[in-house]
Structure 1
Amino acid sequence: MSMPPPPTTLPTPQNMATVMPTAVDAGKSITVSSFKITTRKLPILNAQEIDAMTEKLGITPPEMIFGNNIVSIEKLGEQGGEWKIEFNALDALDLVDKTGNDMLKVAYSAAWQKQREKMHEGIKEVVKPFDWTYSTNYQGSISGTKEFTETTEQIPLDKLRRQDPILFFDDVMLYEDELADNGMSILSVKVRVMPARLLLLARFYMRLDDVVFRIRDTRVFVEFADGVVLREYQEKEDSYENVKKKFPPYRDDIPAIMRDPNQMAEYLPLKSVKVEKLVL
């Protein structure tokens, strides 16, 4: 379910409108039928903004925090927006464990303790109050009265494999952290809009060297004609040792692969999956 870049020339059917706001907010949007898709990409937060976010969250934000970036899907009604799902860094980080009860030492205690002993003193202070890997099960922030209900339906991959023209594509970073040179933690959102449907992928990827690999994916699929919205949430995870065994010993690009969430998704076993549905 990869997301190719947009074509150089975009078709403009009658039911599609594209708006390119000023460079100040660096946002862009497209409206197809009655669905408005918006993305905004701005620089990382400045010191004052980071202080404000730290106060709101109660934890220190990641090294690179794009707190003004968003990706949203909004269903427009006669009186304006009637339903919306948005992805942003603040709400994602608010779901990071702030007690320490949910930290990796629970599932990987021996490896975690060994890894922690190697960290310098400054990092030990950060580890105490919260999960410093910034692991989140964020599935979007919803506004509106319609609610998802669990379903056995699946996202129709056959429709997504069609060679439909891409009207709109964007890849938006929400946050990234190098985990004190012990790995990486990253949350980004991609959205691809076709004439009849769209697919959004919010992917959290975390690699803690010598300990664990983790991927948490949220996919949002919208069929414009009937207003069906499917949201799929998946968790993939495996120990660092198990994953390294899957790499051919002769490959010299393994470090690059381990930095690529798209490639690593093929190496991690599925731990859980949930699909929800609503009709707008």
Structure 2
Amino acid sequence: MSFNGPVDENFPTPAAADKSTVSHVQKGFKISARKLPISKSGPIDEMSKKLGIPVPEMIFGDNMVSIEHMASGWRLEFNAFDALDRVDKTDKNMLKVAYSQEWSSSREKTHEGIKEVVKPFDWSYTTDYKGNVTKGKPFEVGPELIPIELLKRPDPILFFEEVVLFESELDDNGISILSCKLRVMPDRMLLLCRQFMRLDNVLIRIRDTRIYVDFNHGKVIRDYTEREDGFDKVKKSLLFSGRLPGDLTVALRDPNQIVNLLPEVKHTLENLALP
């Protein structure tokens, strides 16, 4: 993939960022999304220094998704920097596989200008990121569940976006990708921020944050789930579910085909009522 202009050019300008942001207002809520090209070397190095770890190969540092309640100013945002800031920056949760040291060394060479930040960290970029409330009151632990039946209604979709925040191929040993997908209907919306991490022959993880908003009652629900299982166990589960051996490669690359096969290891539920 090639880009025009110097590789260390700061990008984007504020004007370009504004032009690249699309928004939809629905019953007092403003839903926005921004999609821009992969960050260039200057912003990448700056981000790595601030984070204290190398960033993934494909980092969309200017992309974001936000939900704002216009009357109160409450705002929830999803972006790459804050997601990566939740990655473990120690070796406590680093996956212990044969090539981990080789991978770390290769990343160090990639970031020779910032060697001082290269240290043990979770190089799978696993994050428990659930978005940041940038203004207004925080979520509280609550019992109310996302009303799945309401979301199954054939309501018209007024606004839809899918935004990638970062992606790494884990040195050709799998994938770690974080993205946000949202759809807005007349009376409600759903946002899914999903991290899919597949380390070939080792482990598969899916971490989902769902944000449900009831526009009519100003209710917001945040549902967070962690699922994971060993790579070989997932392959067996796919076979037991009726997949043919020749279809396994495709299925293992599609989180939608395997998410319900992974055991749930953590689940939190939070509620918020806006005026």
One-letter amino acid of the structure 2 residue matched with residue 47 of structure 1: S
Task: Judge which range, 142-151 or 125-134, deviates more.
Answer: 125-134
| Structure 1 residue corresponding to 2:202, chosen from 205, 211, 214 | 211
Report % sequence identity. 49
Q: CA deviation at 1:49?
A: 1.0
One-letter amino acid of the structure 1 residue matched with residue 181 of structure 2: K
Q: Which residue of 2 aligns with 1:226?
A: 217
Contact kept, 8 Å, 2:238 with 2:258, in 1: the verdict is no
Deviations 1:87-144 (A, max 9, x none): 0000000010111112233xxxxxx2x4547759525889852111000000001122
1:260/1:49 Cα in 2 relative to 1: closer, same or farther (>3 Å)?
same
| Structure 2 residue corresponding to 1:93, chosen from 84, 98, 113 | 84
Q: Which residue of 2 aligns with 1:155?
A: 146
Q: Which residue of 2 aligns with 1:70?
A: 64
Q: If the length of structure 2 is used for normalisation, what is the TM-score?
A: 0.85
Deviations 1:160-189 (A, max 9, x none): 000000000011000000000111000000
Q: If the length of structure 1 is used for normalisation, what is the TM-score?
A: 0.84
Is the helix fraction higher in 1 or 2?
2
One-letter amino acid of the structure 2 residue matched with residue 273 of structure 1: H
| Structure 1 residue corresponding to 2:24, chosen from 14, 22, 30 | 30
Matches within 5 A, 1:8-157: 25-77=19-71, 82-105=73-96, 112=97, 114-116=98-100, 121-122=105-106, 128-157=119-148
Q: CA deviation at 1:151?
A: 1.4
| Structure 1 residue corresponding to 2:249, chosen from 225, 235, 255 | 255
User: SS state of the match for residue 106, structure 2?
Assistant: helix
One-letter amino acid of the structure 1 residue matched with residue 106 of structure 2: G
Contact kept, 8 Å, 1:25 with 1:42, in 2: the verdict is no
1:263/1:250 Cα in 2 relative to 1: closer, same or farther (>3 Å)?
closer
Contact kept, 8 Å, 2:54 with 2:107, in 1: the verdict is no
| Structure 2 residue corresponding to 1:275, chosen from 239, 253, 269 | 269
Q: Which residue of 2 aligns with 1:265?
A: 259
Q: CA deviation at 1:39?
A: 0.3
One-letter amino acid of the structure 2 residue matched with residue 60 of structure 1: P
> For 2:221 and 2:182, how far apart are their aligned partners in 1?
14
Q: CA deviation at 1:266?
A: 2.3
For structure 1, the 5+ residue unaligned runs are: 1-20, 106-111
Task: Judge which range, 139-148 or 22-31, deviates more.
Answer: 22-31
User: SS state of the match for residue 220, structure 2?
Assistant: strand
User: SS state of the match for residue 172, structure 1?
Assistant: strand
> For 1:51 and 1:177, how far apart are their aligned partners in 2?
16
One-letter amino acid of the structure 2 residue matched with residue 122 of structure 1: S
Pairs aligned (count): 250
Deviations 1:201-246 (A, max 9, x none): 0000100111100010000000001100000000000011211111
Contact kept, 8 Å, 1:115 with 1:210, in 2: the verdict is no
User: SS state of the match for residue 175, structure 1?
Assistant: strand
1:252/1:118 Cα in 2 relative to 1: closer, same or farther (>3 Å)?
farther
Task: Judge which range, 47-56 or 250-259, deviates more.
Answer: 250-259
For structure 2, the 5+ residue unaligned runs are: 1-14, 111-117
Tell whether 2:221 aligns with 1:237: no
Q: Which residue of 2 aligns with 1:108?
A: none
CA-atom RMSD in angstroms: 2.2
User: SS state of the match for residue 138, structure 2?
Assistant: coil
1:76/1:149 Cα in 2 relative to 1: closer, same or farther (>3 Å)?
same
